[in-house]
Amino acid sequence: MRILGVDPGLTRCGLGVIDARGGRQVKLIDVDVARSAPELPPHQRLLLISNKLEETLAIFRPDVVAIERVFAQENVRSVTSTAQVAGIVMLAAARRGLPIAFHTPSEVKAAVTGSGRAEKAQVQAMVQRILRLDELPRPKDAADALAIAICHAWRGGAMDFQDTDRAQHGGAGMLPRAEGADLTPAQKMWAQAQRLQARHGAVAPKDKQ
């Protein structure tokens, strides 16, 4: 399964493409950042992001698009622009008939580091280790996009593509495995947290509200 991970942002939008294989193996295919200058009108900035996204989709032809879920923050302007970019990504995926998946920031951190409150540097280091990169992925938006893709690979790698959207709404049959010899300690911890969250109801992480 080829996954495009997207860390939505108007100034910098991270785009990370990985292949997910059997045995929870993931391989880097491409990583990039779509950029737009703050001095441009908003609609022109969105067009630049959209053009880069369309190019990435056309070249790498992912099977699914994983997006970081946007949470309301104190900075209304920032969250609004981020949501606009997420909308562009959703539309681009819909045009190609691709399923989409949303993962919270804490969910992504827990998937790759074992802690939902990990720092950016920890996420970068683990992404480098998981993908066996020679150096840390930069900028941080690129590392976040790859982390989102990895999170989805480890969560939904065994699911049919058409079930990906449905998986976002829970259901015991769609929860990730919490046990298995092929799972790392971080994966087991994350899966257990997902099951606990489904049991008590989803709550946005405090550091992203």
**Which of 141, 144, 163, 182 does the annotation list as catalytic?**
141
Establish whether 7 is a catalytic residue: yes
- CB of 7 closer than 8 Å to CB of 148: yes
- Whether residue 141 is annotated as binding a ligand: the answer is yes
Q: Among 7, 19, 30, 134, which one carries the catalytic annotation?
A: 7
Is 7 part of any known ligand binding site? yes
Helix (H, G, I), strand (E, B) or coil at 7: strand
The residue from 68, 144, 160, 207 that is catalytic is: 68
**Is the link from the previous residue into 99 a cis peptide, with omega within 30 of 0?**
no
Q: Determine whether the annotation assigns residue 63 to a binding site.
A: no
| Contact between 17 and 56 (Cβ < 8 Å) | yes
Q: Are 11 and 154 in contact (CB under 8 A)?
A: no
Report CA-CA distances (Å) from 172 to 143, 166, 175, 194, 195: 31, 12, 5, 11, 8
Phi-psi region of 115 (alpha: psi -120 to 50; beta: other; left: phi over 0): beta
Q: Tell me, yes or no, if 141 is annotated catalytic.
A: yes
Give the separation between CA 24 and CA 143, rounded to whole angstroms: 19
Which amino acids are annotated catalytic?
A: 7, 68, 141
Q: Which residues are part of a known binding site for Mg(2+)?
A: 7, 68, 141
